[in-house]
Amino acid sequence: DFFLKDPNFLYLYRSTVVSDNQIDIQFYVDTAADAKSYTIKRMEKPTDGFIAIGSINATSGMNPMLSFSDFNVESKIKSYTYIVEMVNLCNEVKITSNIGKTILLYTINDKLELTNTIIWIPYEGWVGGISGYEIYRAFGGVWETTPIASMPALLDTIIYVDDVSTVLKGNGEFCYKVIALEGPALRVGNLSDAKSASNEDCVDHDPLIYIPNAFAPESSFNPIFKPVVTFAEPNSYQMIIYNRWGQEVFKTKNIEEGWNGAFNNKGDLQEIGVYVYFIEINSSGNQQYQYRGKVTMVR
């Protein structure tokens, strides 16, 4: 007869979303135990129970922090719960870890209020609980380096409303993710506080255009006629100004260039009165927007 050393611990350090189809699991094992392998199990719905999705063989001198990547996931629409089981040399399950349940985040946009509401189902499973969440945002495909907000860990579902009315750059696409921060606790192996990322979710806002109805070339207050465009990084843009006889007096394809009241912005001012504009924007999402109207040149 020989005696197998049982494990004193098996800690699922974190499960974290890496992409729409990848979740990484890290777990900390007792390398002094007589382990044969570690089975990773996953549950999608409580009614389904846990199903084995992979295994890692134990080796002598192994690093106690093991990692496993699950590529068979749809992290944008589902939260997954993981556990790890240690199997000993007699093929007996000797210890089961805590759970690690991933964060599921989704976003709802309000195009009238210019807000994005971020809702997420919290992380579960840490020994230290959750100390809070950091919310990150990207617009135009570029992630901001610092979180736009930090939230305390409340119950069940957490909601944050992001007012984007002052974010005028970018193409109108906003993406969000949250990072859960583990609370302080005494953990095996003196492990530091863990972090877990949610899925990323994106919403779009239509381009907004503000077109003045008058301008005064000889004034310091409003000397240039130029529309203000937000939530658009156009593939193409043009603005044409016509006088009351239908003659073209100004044309530009530069969204930053306005009309100063002169013929093609050179020389003397055109006469005071009403002009017709035509503005066309092709957005980066290949949507076309056209605007026609009148603008009055005043002294």
In tens, the pLDDT along 126-160 reads 988 999 999 999 988 899 999 999 988 876 678 99
Distance (Å, rounded) from C-alpha 30 to C-alpha 23? Answer: 23
Percent of the chain with pLDDT over 90: 75
What mean pLDDT comes out for the span 54-75? 95
**Domain identity same for 108 and 144:** yes
* Per-residue pLDDT, 185: 84
> For residue 275, is pLDDT > 70?
yes
Domain count, the chain: 3
Domain with 38 in it: what CATH number?
2.60.40.10
Domain with 240 in it: what CATH number?
2.60.40.1220
84 burial type by CB count under 10 A (0-12 exposed, 13-18 middle, 19+ buried): buried
The residue ranking higher by pLDDT, 266 or 170, is: 266
Range in 36-50, 111-125, 172-186, 281-295 with the lowest mean pLDDT: 281-295
**Domain identity same for 108 and 172:** yes
> For residue 286, is pLDDT > 80?
no
The residue ranking higher by pLDDT, 240 or 208, is: 240
Distance (Å, rounded) from C-alpha 138 to C-alpha 141? Answer: 6
What's the chain's average pLDDT? 92
Check: CB of residue 80 under 8 Å from CB of residue 123. no
Q: Among 60, 83, 102, identify where a domain stops.
A: 102
* Per-residue pLDDT, 287: 79
Q: Among 59, 76, 102, identify where a domain stops.
A: 102
**Domain identity same for 14 and 38:** yes
* Per-residue pLDDT, 124: 96
* Per-residue pLDDT, 158: 86
In tens, the pLDDT along 1-39 reads 468 899 999 999 999 999 999 999 999 999 999 999 999
46 burial type by CB count under 10 A (0-12 exposed, 13-18 middle, 19+ buried): exposed
Strands (E), 1-156: 10-19, 22-29, 35-43, 51-57, 65-70, 81-88, 93-96, 100-101, 104-110, 115-121, 130-139, 142-143, 149-152
* Per-residue pLDDT, 40: 99
What mean pLDDT comes out for the span 65-72? 98
How many Cβ atoms sit within 10 Å of the Cβ of residue 193? 13
**Domain identity same for 108 and 192:** yes
Return the amino acid letter for 210. Answer: Y
**Domain identity same for 83 and 107:** no
Domain with 117 in it: what CATH number?
2.60.40.2060
**Domain identity same for 107 and 149:** yes
**Domain identity same for 74 and 153:** no
Domain, as residue range, for 66: 1-102
133 burial type by CB count under 10 A (0-12 exposed, 13-18 middle, 19+ buried): buried
**Domain identity same for 142 and 93:** no
Check: CB of residue 30 under 8 Å from CB of residue 9. yes
Percent of the chain with pLDDT over 70: 98
**Domain identity same for 74 and 2:** yes
In tens, the pLDDT along 156-212 reads 678 999 999 888 777 788 999 999 999 988 788 888 899 999 999 999 888 888 899
**Domain identity same for 293 and 238:** yes
Q: Among 160, 175, 205, identify where a domain stops.
A: 205
* Per-residue pLDDT, 138: 95
**Domain identity same for 6 and 97:** yes
**Domain identity same for 212 and 192:** no
* Per-residue pLDDT, 156: 63
Structure tokens at 90: 């007699």
